[in-house]
Chain A
Amino acid sequence: MSLFDWFANRQKSEQTTQQGQAEREIADGLWTKCPECGVLAYTKDLQANMMVCADCGHHMRVDSNERIRQLIDPKTWKPLNEELEPIDALNFRDRKAYKDRIQETQAKTGLKDAVQTGTGLLDGLPVALGVMDFRFMGGSMGSVVGEKLCRLIEYGTQEGLTVIIICASGGARMQEGMLSLMQMAKISGALEHHRQAHLLYIPVLTHPTTGGVTASFAMLGDLILAEPKATIGFAGRRVIEQTLREKLPDDFQTSEYLLQHGFVDAIVPRTQLKKTLAQLISIHQPFFPLDAGPNAHHTMPRQTLVPQN
């Protein structure tokens, strides 16, 4: 063995021991590897950075609990309609019964269905917030998701609140058939009433936002924000590739692609999201009265600006 080989071997064995250690620590949850650039980060640092890789800026998936913590001021979150639970109205069974799928997913996630809704303060501003959770059957929209979002929007309309929905969904939930498709219409109808009351609605599109969610409330924002490099589209990429039998460009259906084609207002890194939302909400507080009258003023609570008749 030449001296050179000896050095080479030594370097190799050092690398493998390092890797072995890293894997052990990943298993312990102390370290997290960025799926995009492969860099290891101390999990606590990563969480402090809202699960955004400090090296490459990749946005890792976060669950709905974490989202609420990131956006809502401490101790101000009031959940709505937590009791709503899915039922198997179609008696649906694919390779597994829908009933069993619901139970398993509920046990795994601690959630009743794929969205959490509630009210809270965002930098001191009252908002009605819906957060979809991709862990629950791919964030798919069935009756419960539709009903909870609808009630949230109706509550927002009634109380004069800005509505924010963090989207993360593969689309309509097939296991509930047409009941799922109709949630698209139902939520859009609720948003129409919210709009009639001159209230602000901002969907935030995160990875992934596709199918029936894209074709309804995700695209109906007065303003639409997206996280960097999220997949956003109507038809699935694979479906399009199969129909057209050609490879699609890498950036197809990304946030950046949508921005370029005019379908989102801005791409906002997660670390800036709360600040950005607060700024946008506050700039939309009516300064001039919507309806001429002595009690319409921007410092008045929002409700008083809604026509009383």
Chain B
Amino acid sequence: MSTTKSRPFLLDFEKPLCELEARIDQIRELAQENNVDVSEQIRELEAKADQLRTEIFSTLTPSQRLQLARHPRRPSTLDYIQAISEEWFELHGDRGGSDDPALVGGVARLDGIPVVMLGHQKGRDTKDNVARNFGMASPGGYRKALRLMEHANQFRMPILTFIDTPGAWAGVEAEELGQGEAIAYNLREMFKFDVPILCTVIGEGGSGGALGIGVGDRILMFEHAVYTVATPEACAAILWKDAAKGPQAAAALKITARDLKELGILDQILPEPSNGAHADPLGAAAILKNALISNLEELFGLSPEQRREQRYLKFRQMGKFLG
């Protein structure tokens, strides 16, 4: 359970809950100092807090979920990897002249199974974020991802990707080095691999930059994560000609896990601990680990041909049209 002691980065909608939790702590302390039994009142208040928590987290708007998905304390790719794997060895470099810190990966062991894990990596603080380019990968990052996935395929290790990026890096150098080509190439190659591929949107799934490591046998997504065709801010600027219409765009674009499950884009929604993954990272990691293992077990039952075939058919049916 989260405490109120130090809660930096408090989101607006978390405030009433946080205040109530602070009051409960206060009463508890006072009662202890004065030797009064207030357990009855505290139980009542805690029940009220639970109710409030359920209310708040079950009625989040898309733009509030976007805030949660971008929460600075939300567990990142490396947090999850370290929490769910027994062994982890990070590998570096795209073998083409760069090593992108915004996209990390390596070999690991998950419940005894050797796997390759990779994903976008946001920073934990401002300095780290600058080094990680806020999780916006460069062409070298996508090429490193491809190299690691080829490695996985070569050694018959499942590929687990973790998606958490506002989008691929939009800069002069990224264009020069072929950002579009790097992503495109991954999209095609990921249909080719024999080994099982699981893709999990852990935070922010931003556009082509997310999809560049997002073609798999199963697409999983955390309850409060988002996955968008373009950031709501960019979409608002283009379609509404007003970047401040971001919340409206967030609602219109259908970016939440529930919406995407309905649209046939996701396979599984991973529930988050009651206050969101940032309030209980280890709880979230346990949920992720179980889901990954059970999906892998299912996929091990298929032949490589079946996996490739089903992977294609899965994406093949995405889209809605008449005729």
Q: Do residues B316 and A186 form an inter-chain contact, with CB atoms below 8 A? A: yes
Q: Mark B175-187, 1 if CB is under 8 A from A, else 0.
A: 1111111011101
- A14 in the interface (beta carbon within 8 A): no
CA distance A144 to B322 in the complex (A): 8
A243 to B192, CA, bound (A): 35
Q: Mark A72-90, 1 if CB is under 8 A from B, else 0.
A: 0000000001011111011
Query: Restricting to B202-225, which residues have a CB under 8 Å from any CB of A?
Result: 207-208, 211-212, 214-215
Given A95-B239, A172-B229, A193-B312, A218 and B319 contact (CB-CB distance below 8 Å): no
B175 near A252 (CB under 8 angstroms)?
yes
B255 adjacent to chain A (CB < 8 Å): yes
Using known A-B contacts A178-B263, A234-B174, determine if residue A186 contacts B180 with beta carbons closer than 8 Å.
Answer: no
Q: Which residue of B lies closest to A196 (CB)?
A: B192
Closest Cβ of chain B to A248, distance in Å, is 7
The answer, among A143, A182, A243, for a CB contact under 8 Å with B321, is A143
Which A residues are CB-close (under 8 A) to B178?
A: 219, 261-263
Q: Would A144 and B208 count as touching, CB distance under 8 A? A: no
Residues of B near A180 (CB, < 8 A) are: 229
A212 at the interface (CB under 8 A from B): yes
In contact, B191 and A182 (Cβ under 8 angstroms): no
Q: How far is the CA of A62 from the CA of B9 in the complex (A)?
A: 52
> Chain B, 252-282, contact with A by CB distance < 8 Å: what is the 0/1 string?
1111000010010100000000000000000
A218 in complex: contacting residue of B174, B180, B207, CB < 8 Å: B180
Q: Which residues of B contact A178 (CB under 8 A)?
A: 227-229, 253-255, 260, 263, 265
Whether B175 and A219, one on each chain, are in contact in the complex, defined by CB atoms closer than 8 angstroms, is: no
Contacts of A90 in B (CB 8 A): 252-254
Q: Which of A84, A89, A234 contacts B175 (CB 8 A)?
A: A234
A191 to B186, CA, bound (A): 12
Inter-subunit contact A189/B229 (CB<8 Å): no
Q: How close is B1's CB to chain A, nearest CB, in angstroms?
A: 34
CB of A153 to closest CB in B, whole Å = 11
- Nearest Cβ on chain A to B175's Cβ, whole angstroms: 6
CB of B319 within 8 A of CB of A179, answer: yes
User: What is the interface of chain B, defined by CB distance below 8 A to chain A?
Assistant: 168, 170-172, 174-181, 183-185, 187-189, 191-192, 207-208, 211-212, 214-215, 227-230, 234-235, 238-241, 249, 252-255, 260, 263, 265, 311-312, 315-316, 318-323
Supply 16 further A-B pairs (C-beta < 8 A) apart from A89-B320, A90-B252. Answer: A83-B323, A84-B323, A94-B239, A146-B319, A172-B208, A177-B254, A178-B228, A178-B265, A179-B320, A180-B229, A186-B316, A188-B188, A190-B316, A214-B184, A215-B179, A235-B171
